[in-house]
Structure 1
Amino acid sequence: MPKENMTRYAILGLLASGCTSGYEMKHTIDTSLNHFWKISFGQVYPMLKTLAQEGLIEETSEGDDRKTFILTPDGEAALRRWVEEPTTELPVQRNELLLKLYFARHESKETTIQKIDQHAALLRERLETYHMIEQTIRASPETNEAMYWLLTLDYGKRKTQALLEWCAASIQTLEGGKDDETRDRDTE
């Protein structure tokens, strides 16, 4: 059975959150969703067309000829059904650094350490971005969605912090030191 296209539910969710135009969706995708769910802008309008054909959304127009959309009752029900379904699989992450690290015996340790250092710098930038997003959410008027947005943000912050710790431990290992876990096993 082919894997279901989750972009449809992302678009339904964006509509339910008040993003009614492709432009608003792109902004929310770029500033929020892309931190944990990749959607190219080229997917948005074809998916809007598909959802309209399925009767899950309706196209409306504003005075400036801008296309806007609203959820139909069937669209709200489809989104609710999907949100309520349990998640049964862990996501598989494609990570170029890990792929290169897997084959890193073909380069010097110094080059590998440099790659991990660069990765850590990107992670620190991401963590800074997450802190700015958190400030924005907390400074905004209270909404029913803010708590859930903060939960997804907390996941990103914790994961990023764990990856920074992994970078530090990996560099220590490559430099010939032992990480804390190895040291603990050696003293038992």
Structure 2
Amino acid sequence: MPKENMTRYAILGLLASGCTSGYEMKHTIDTSLNHFWKISFGQVYPMLKTLAQEGLIVEETGDGDDRKMFVLTSDGEAELGRWVQEPTTELPVQRNELLLKLYFARHESKDTTIQKINQHAALLRERLDMYQMIEQSIRSYPGTDEAVYWLLTLDYGKRKTQALLEWCAASIQTLEGGKDDETRDRNTK
């Protein structure tokens, strides 16, 4: 059975949240969804066309604006509701270039590997800073029922990033010949 295209549900959800144009959707994707769901601009308009052909959205003309505007149909709202209510049955598989390189790192010096992990940690700290700015923005947003859900996804990203920073520190310690807490605990039992 082929995997469902989750971009369709992201677009339906964005429409339900008030994004009515491809431009607004891409802006929201880049500023809000990007920390857990990547969609390229090249995916947005073809998916909008597909959803319109399926009768899940309709195109509306704006007042003197050339920008295409879209609205969910009742079938589109039902499809989004059906999908949101389904349980998730799989853990996501993440492609991670650093881990792929680490898997084969015996072909480079430990110092080079440590440098890569340190660079990765610096990127993670930048991401945490970005999450802090996003959180401030959400908390300053006028009362909306969606804010609590936005904050849940953001909290996931913050916790995952914090855990990855801890992994970086433990990995460097291991490469430098130290033992992480888990190894120390096993050796003392």
Mark yes or no: TM-score above 0.5. Answer: yes
| 1:94-145 Cα deviation digits (max 9, x unpaired) | 0000000000000000000000000000000000000100000001101010
Would you say 1:157 and 2:158 are equivalent positions?
yes
What corresponds to 1:122 in structure 2? Answer: 123
Query: Aligned runs of 1:58-97 on 2, under 5 Å?
Result: 58-63=58-63, 64-97=65-98
Which amino acid is the alignment partner of residue 147 of structure 1? V
Would you say 1:101 and 2:134 are equivalent positions?
no
What SS does the aligned partner of 1:35 have? coil
What corresponds to 1:2 in structure 2? Answer: 2
The number of residues matched between the two structures is: 188
User: 2:145 & 2:32 partners in 1: Cα distance?
Assistant: 17
Would you say 1:36 and 2:36 are equivalent positions?
yes
Which amino acid is the alignment partner of residue 91 of structure 1? P
What corresponds to 2:45 in structure 1? Answer: 45
User: 2:42 & 2:32 partners in 1: Cα distance?
Assistant: 17
User: 2:170 & 2:130 partners in 1: Cα distance?
Assistant: 23
User: 1:34 & 1:50 partners in 2: Cα distance?
Assistant: 22
Per-residue deviation, 1:89: 0.2
What SS does the aligned partner of 1:32 have? helix
Per-residue deviation, 1:67: 0.8
Would you say 1:138 and 2:139 are equivalent positions?
yes
Which amino acid is the alignment partner of residue 14 of structure 1? L
Identity of aligned residues (%): 87
Q: What's the TM-score once normalised by structure 2's chain length?
A: 0.98
Per-residue deviation, 1:187: 1.6
Deviation beyond 4 Å, 4+ runs, structure 1: none
User: 1:34 & 1:132 partners in 2: Cα distance?
Assistant: 14
Unaligned runs of 5+ in 2: none
Q: What's the TM-score once normalised by structure 1's chain length?
A: 0.99
What SS does the aligned partner of 2:58 have? strand
Which amino acid is the alignment partner of residue 178 of structure 1? K
Per-residue deviation, 1:66: 1.4
User: 1:123 & 1:76 partners in 2: Cα distance?
Assistant: 36
User: 2:164 & 2:91 partners in 1: Cα distance?
Assistant: 17
Which amino acid is the alignment partner of residue 85 of structure 1? E
What SS does the aligned partner of 2:34 have? helix
Unaligned runs of 5+ in 1: none
